[in-house]
Homo-oligomer: A and B are copies of this chain.
Amino acid sequence: MPGGASLLACDWGTTNLRAWTLAEDGAVLRHQEFPLGVGRLQPGEAAARFGGEVRPAMGAEGLPAILCGMIGSNLGWTVVPYDRCPTSLEDLARALHAVAPDIRIVPGVSCPGVTGASDVMRGEETQILGWVSMDPARAAGRHLICHPGTHAKWALVEDGRLVRFATAMTGELFAVLRKHSVLRTDDEPGDEAAFAEGVEAAGEGDALSTRLFSARGRIVADGKPAGTAADYLSGLLIGAEVAGTPALLGVDPGAPVQLIGDLGLCRWYRKALSLRGVSSEVCDGEEAALAGLAALHGRTA
């Protein structure tokens, strides 16, 4: 064990497990990503893989461990009941679920969704409240947060509490349309002009299924290069999401947005917001997760 190591913090998602071994003062002694996402695990093997692979590789045997993400779902180690909105770091710290004396899992969070059905998250709550913990100034006031991804999360934080959120299926829509629909294309995104064209075509986020067909018309009827189809589609879907979602949370569509997540994806969201005249800042989701896990541990140490 490295000298002074005091905590093993893990963001354990569907695809990967990101682990940090931390010193008493919060310094990162070791950081590693493991291809052990819960979507790749056999039922019941999380404990054994964690004890047999993650702990030794991280030099973290015997350390207290804190885990967030889908590891708390029915695909993971055990089902940890959702905490309800509104919730804070203090609330989540009180609701940590011990699966062993030295291993605790952060609960996911649920809230009434924008259509009446419940909405849920597992892992993003730690990043969102972790972002809050990174700067004392964020503990007060109202913040609109967007966490892009397969299922993007839009969240409202008020005075340090996660009060409401909504999930947008934008990433998954992009994936299935690009792979399985008449809009299918093998090209990788990267053309900023086509992306901007898509954002403009999204209008105010209304009538998405009708606007979507333009992704085909511009190629087959207008002769635009087929290689720009993926960027246009991406712009249209992200444009519709950023135009339409804030109002569902009762927030002005012009309010600044705090982006937290994968830096590459956040960059495209930032561009779409900018094209709509909305300011945004980007925070690396890994840094936010680490901050959240450390803060939760610190509140219970």
Q: Are A117 and B218 in contact (CB under 8 A)?
A: yes
Q: Are B217 and A117 in contact (CB under 8 A)?
A: yes
Q: Are A248 and B207 in contact (CB under 8 A)?
A: yes
Contact with B along A171-199 (1 / 0, CB 8 A): 01100110111100000000000000000
Q: Are B170 and A180 in contact (CB under 8 A)?
A: no
Q: Are A168 and B120 in contact (CB under 8 A)?
A: no
Bound CA–CA A151/B241 (angstroms): 22
**Among the listed stretches A98-106, A108-116, A125-133, which one makes contact with chain B, having 4 or more residues with CB under 8 Å of it?**
A108-116
Min CB distance A76 to B, Å, is 15
* A96 interface residue (CB < 8 Å to B): no
* A166 interface residue (CB < 8 Å to B): yes
Q: Are A117 and B222 in contact (CB under 8 A)?
A: yes
Q: Are B214 and A114 in contact (CB under 8 A)?
A: yes
Which one of B116, B169, B201, B221 lies within 8 Å of A213 (CB-CB)? B169
Min CB distance A286 to B, Å, is 24
* A258 interface residue (CB < 8 Å to B): no
* A65 interface residue (CB < 8 Å to B): no
Q: Are A208 and B209 in contact (CB under 8 A)?
A: yes
A61-118 contacts to B (CB < 8 Å):
82, 110, 113-118
Q: Are B115 and A203 in contact (CB under 8 A)?
A: yes
Q: Are A209 and B120 in contact (CB under 8 A)?
A: no
Q: For residue A114, which residues in chain B have a CB less than 8 angstroms away from its CB?
A: 207, 210-211, 214
Which of A119, A182, A213, A218 has the most CB atoms of chain B within a 10 A radius of its CB?
Answer: A213
Q: For residue A284, which residues in chain B have a CB less than 8 angstroms away from its CB?
A: none
Q: Are A217 and B176 in contact (CB under 8 A)?
A: no
Q: List 8 A-B contacts (CB under 8 A).
A: A117-B222, A118-B217, A167-B217, A169-B181, A170-B209, A207-B244, A208-B209, A209-B237
Given contact pairs A119-B214, A176-B180, A207-B244, a sample of 8 additional A-B residue pairs in the complex whose CB atoms are under 8 Å apart: A113-B213, A114-B214, A117-B201, A120-B220, A151-B182, A167-B210, A170-B209, A173-B177
